[in-house]
């Protein structure tokens, strides 16, 4: 992404000017990319002008940026609908299982690259389990925590590969209406994180009920120690609320991060230009789109998987302890 | 911006926050199947490998520790032997030196005794030779004296004269110079 990081020094001299001898290769490439970007803006302004040219679908409101997140039912098998969300969930499962089983089949005393990565993932999830849960619960829930991590990670990562899955906004080639390419992730639909969060919520509530010998002990365990008198009902209310908010925070954190990330990439990668009808705006924002794409794919995908799984471990661990 | 009028996110985006129940069931089923497969096949295999590796490493550390202890024991033994050998060598050297000294002393003593013996022998030989020479000289002197006296007196001396003359002559001769060489 040198195109974005380099502009500052290139501001003063004209980008087209022959470069000084002794300039590093990276700098040369950066300056060239920057020059192409600047020339592109000039080109689009020269060809299309500043006057906006909105597409008819945009003017009529048929095209909206959220359309690409709609789950268009592709086909149904009885009561079971099949749409792109399902496709992505299945893809995530297949890729997860394929990678993990392939790694396990080739396990060696001297590990290769894939095995090192898998072992790192294993040690990471094992570490977070061990830190938050006692031995018994750790043994019981480590597979769940590890699966959550790898499943969400793969779901997030395949969400950055453009695939022809946008059946709502099609494009036409030689008369054929084909689904547009888009980057979609199953967890941009609230159903995905909500289901996983519900699963985790049920499990840690169940563990809490077991550990505190029934609902009364469990409710008592929610209260922090040392609260007396009139404060009790208020604090109790807050604690119960915060307990249920875990479900929402687990869901929304993953969902909103992924949805917002994908929307930002789409907006900066050209959608904003389409909406305002200015071609040069698309070109102008493209570097930002690429930067956000890399940021999301490299950092957010793994970070959100990590946060979801470590919170699962923390909630399970705190369920069996009292305040 | 007129464009914002065509961004009916709130209006058409309600599906965004409405969970799709069908997808939720798909997620649950697919996730649980993945979970069960991973729990059954993948995680135990990785755990087994990591345990095995941990055991190997631990075994190797133990082996290395044992090797180190053994090496230290061997080193200590060698040191001990070295010290022993050194003391033995010192002892041997001391003994050899003592033997040498004794031998030298003995040799010196023997040499001295031999010298003394030879000196004594020589002295005795010289003494005997001296005595023989003196006796020879004495008889020669006596004969010469008799001859000289006969020549002077033109007579033949009787046995008594002979004897007396010899004794007189010998009395006058000093042999002390000859016998003095003995001292």
B6 within some domain = no
DSSP collapsed to 3 states, A133-178: CCHHHHHHHHHHHHHHHHHHHHHHHHCCCCEEEEEEEEEEECCEEE
User: Which residue's entry shows tokens 């499990």?
Assistant: A203
Residue B12 is assigned to a structural domain of this protein: no
Q: Is B76 on the interface with A (CB under 8 A)?
A: no
Tell me what pLDDT residue A231 has. Answer: 84
Domain that holds residue B162: 18-180
Q: Looking at beta carbons, which residues of chain B come within 8 Å of A190?
A: 16-20
- Inter-chain touch B43–A143, beta carbons under 8 Å: yes
CB pairs under 8 A between A and B: 134
* Residue B45 sits at the chain A interface (C-beta within 8 Å): yes
Which residues from chain B sit within 8 angstroms of residue A195, using beta carbons? Answer: 23-24, 27-28, 31
Provide the domain count of chain B: 1
pLDDT reported for residue A87: 92
Higher pLDDT, A96 or B157: A96
* Rounded to 5°, angle at Cα A233 from A228 and A238: 110
pLDDT value at residue A230: 83
Please indicate whether residue B18 or residue A121 has the higher confidence score (pLDDT): A121
Which chain A residues are Cβ-neighbours of B50 within 8 angstroms? Answer: 119, 122-123
Residue B120 lies in a domain: yes
Instruction: Please answer whether residues A251 and A200 qualify as being in contact, where contact means their C-beta atoms are separated by less than 8 angstroms.
Output: no
> Would you say residue A266 has pLDDT above 80?
yes
Q: At residue A83, does pLDDT exceed 90?
A: no
Judge whether B7 lies within some domain.
no
Residue B9 lies in a domain: no
Mean local confidence (pLDDT), A241-248 = 92
Q: If you search the block for the tokens 């009561």, which residue do you land on?
A: A79
End-to-end CA gap in chain A: 48
Average pLDDT over residues A194-219: 91
| Whole-complex ipTM | 0.84
Q: Is residue B57 part of a domain?
A: yes
Contacts of A144 in chain B (CB under 8 A): 35
**What's the average model confidence in pLDDT over A172-176?**
85
DSSP state of A61: T
Q: Is A181 helix (H, G, I), strand (E, B) or coil?
A: strand
Q: Do A104 and B46 touch (CB under 8 A)?
A: yes
Q: Which chain B positions have a beta carbon within 8 Å of A90's beta carbon?
A: 26, 30
What is the structure's pLDDT at B178? 61
Average pLDDT in chain A = 86
Best residue of A64, A67, A108, A308 to probe chain B, by most B CBs closer than 10 Å: A64
CB contact under 8 A, A190 and B7: no
pLDDT means per 10 residues, chain B with 183 residues, are 42 71 90 94 90 92 95 95 95 94 94 93 93 89 81 77 78 65 46
The mean pLDDT value for A310-315 works out to 94
Of A186, A195, A277, the CB nearest to B28: A195
Q: Looking at mean pLDDT, say which of A42-46, A171-175, A291-295 comes out highest.
A: A291-295
Q: How much is the pLDDT for B144? A: 85
Residue B109 covered by a domain: yes
Is residue B122 in a domain? yes
Q: Give tens-digit pLDDT for B118-160.
A: 999 999 999 999 999 998 988 888 888 878 877 887 777 777 8
| Predicted pLDDT at B175 | 65
Tokens of residue A233, six digits: 């009902």
């Amino acid at each position: 992404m040198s195109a974005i990081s380099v502009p500052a020094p290139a501001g003063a001299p004209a980008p087209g000017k022959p470069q000084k001898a002794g300039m590093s290769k990276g700098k040369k490439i950066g300056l060239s990319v920057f020059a192409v970007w600047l020339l592109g803006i000039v080109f689009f302004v020269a060809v299309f002008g500043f006057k906006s040219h909105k597409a008819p679908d945009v003017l009529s409101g048929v095209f909206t940026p959220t359309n690409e997140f709609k789950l268009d039912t592709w086909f149904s098998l009885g009561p079971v609908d099949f749409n792109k969300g399902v496709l992505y969930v299945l893809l995530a499962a297949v890729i997860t299982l394929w990678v993990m089983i392939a790694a396990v089949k080739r396990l060696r005393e001297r590990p290769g690259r894939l095995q090192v990565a898998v072992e790192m993932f294993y040690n990471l999830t094992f570490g977070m389990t061990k830190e938050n849960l006692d031995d018994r619960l750790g043994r019981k829930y480590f597979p769940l925590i590890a699966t959550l991590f790898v499943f969400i990670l793969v779901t997030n990562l395949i969400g950055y590969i453009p695939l022809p899955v946008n059946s709502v906004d099609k494009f036409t080639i030689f008369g054929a209406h084909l689904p547009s390419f888009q980057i979609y992730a199953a967890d941009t639909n609230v159903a995905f994180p909500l289901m996983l969060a519900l699963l985790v919520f049920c499990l840690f509530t169940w563990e809490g009920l077991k550990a505190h010998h029934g609902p009364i002990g469990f409710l008592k365990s929610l209260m922090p120690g040392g609260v007396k008198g009139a404060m009790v009902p208020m604090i109790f209310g807050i604690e119960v609320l915060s307990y249920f908010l875990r479900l929402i925070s687990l869901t929304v954190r993953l969902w909103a991060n992924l949805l917002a990330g994908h929307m930002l990439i789409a907006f900066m990668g050209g959608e904003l230009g389409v909406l305002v009808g200015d071609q040069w705006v698309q070109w102008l924002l493209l570097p930002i789109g690429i930067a956000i794409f890399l940021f999301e794919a490299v950092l957010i995908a793994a970070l959100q998987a990590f946060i979801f799984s470590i919170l699962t471990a923390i909630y399970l661990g705190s369920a069996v302890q009292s305040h | 911006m007129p464009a914002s009028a065509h961004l009916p996110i709130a209006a058409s985006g309600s599906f965004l926050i409405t969970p799709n129940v069908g997808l939720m069931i798909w997620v649950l089923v697919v996730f649980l199947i993945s979970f069960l497969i991973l729990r059954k096949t993948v995680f135990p295999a990785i755990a087994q490998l990591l345990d095995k590796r941990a055991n190997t490493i631990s075994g190797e550390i133990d082996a290395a520790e044992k090797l180190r202890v053994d090496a230290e024991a061997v080193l200590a033994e060698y040191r001990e032997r070295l010290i022993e050998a050194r003391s033995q060598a010192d002892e041997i050297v001391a003994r050899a030196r003592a033997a040498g000294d004794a031998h030298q002393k003995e040799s010196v003593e023997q040499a001295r005794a031999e010298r003394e013996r030879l000196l004594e022998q020589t002295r005795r030989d010289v003494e005997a030779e001296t005595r023989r020479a003196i006796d020879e000289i004495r008889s020669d002197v006596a004969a010469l004296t008799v001859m000289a006296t006969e020549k002077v007196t033109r007579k033949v001396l009787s046995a008594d004269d002979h004897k007396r003359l010899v004794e007189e002559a010998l009395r006058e001769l000093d042999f002390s110079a000859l016998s003095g060489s003995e001292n």
